[in-house]
Each structure stands twice: as C-alpha cells, then as structure tokens.
Structure 1
C-alpha cells in the first residue's frame, strides 16, 4: 500500500514541482545552445522525471517520500509546458 500524505500537502508539493519544472526549462533554454532533436528533448523532459517520480512513489514506505516522488513527477509537465511556451513565443 502506498502511504499517501494529506491532499493539501500532495497538491502543494505538486505545485512546487511544476514551478521547479518551469524554472528548469528557463535555465535549460538559456544555457543549452546546441541543436537537439525535439523528440529527444520530449523524451528526456517527460521520461526522466516520470520514471524517477513513479519509482519513488511505488517504492515509498513513508508519506514524505511519496510527496517527494509526486513533486519529481510534476516537474515534467511544468518543464514541457514552459519549453512549449518558449518555442511558440520565439516563432521558430
């Protein structure tokens, strides 16, 4: 059984995860100047936090570990959304 924290705590850490993902996207957009294929970027941005977060959630034995796993899992959509917004705004 997965130990779940309170709903307000879970929602809060997921909002923090989305914000961290957005900040990571801005940092990556500024720092990375190499041309990277879009499918590789989507795979890394969604896949890596998704796999790490799901593993943490599934293997957790404490509520706080589940919360951290949910935060890591929420980094992916924030990162992807911010990268998408940057692409659209730049007109490339």
Structure 2
C-alpha cells in the first residue's frame, strides 16, 4: 500500500514541481545551445522525471517519500510544456 500524505501537501508538492519544471525548461532553453534530436529531448524531459517519480512513489514506505515522488513526477509536464511553448514561439 502506498502511504498517502495529506491532500493539501500532495497538491502543494505537485504545484511546486510543475513550477520547478517550468523554470528548468526555461533554463535548459537558455543554457543548451547544441542541436539535439527532438525524440531524444522528449524522452529525457518526459521519461526520466516520470520514471524516477513513479518508482519513488511506488517504492515509498513513508508519506514524505510519496510527496517527493509526486514532486519529481510533476516536473515533467511543466518542463515539457515550457519546451513546447518555446518551440511555438520560435516557429520551429
């Protein structure tokens, strides 16, 4: 059984995770100047945080570990959304 924290704490962790994902996406667009294949970027941006967050939540034994897993899992949509928005603005 996955130990669930209080709903407000879980929601807060996911909201902060999405904000960190947006900031990470902006930082990645500014700092990385190399040309990278889009499929590799999507796999890294969505796959790595999703896999790490899901494994953290599934293997957690404490409530705070589940909260950290939800935080890491919520980084992926924020980061991916920022990268998509940047591509739309740049016209690529």
Identify the TM-score tier after normalising by the shorter chain: over 0.9
| Structure 2 alignment gaps of length 5 or more | none
Partner of 1:67: 67
Partner of 1:8: 8
TM-score relative to the length of structure 2:
0.98
| Structure 1 alignment gaps of length 5 or more | none
TM-score relative to the length of structure 1:
0.98
Deviation of 1:90 (Å): 1.2
Deviation of 1:83 (Å): 0.4
Partner of 1:79: 79
**May I ask how many residue pairs the two structures share in their alignment?**
92
Deviation of 1:91 (Å): 1.2
Aligned-partner Cα distance in 1 for 2:4–2:33:
40
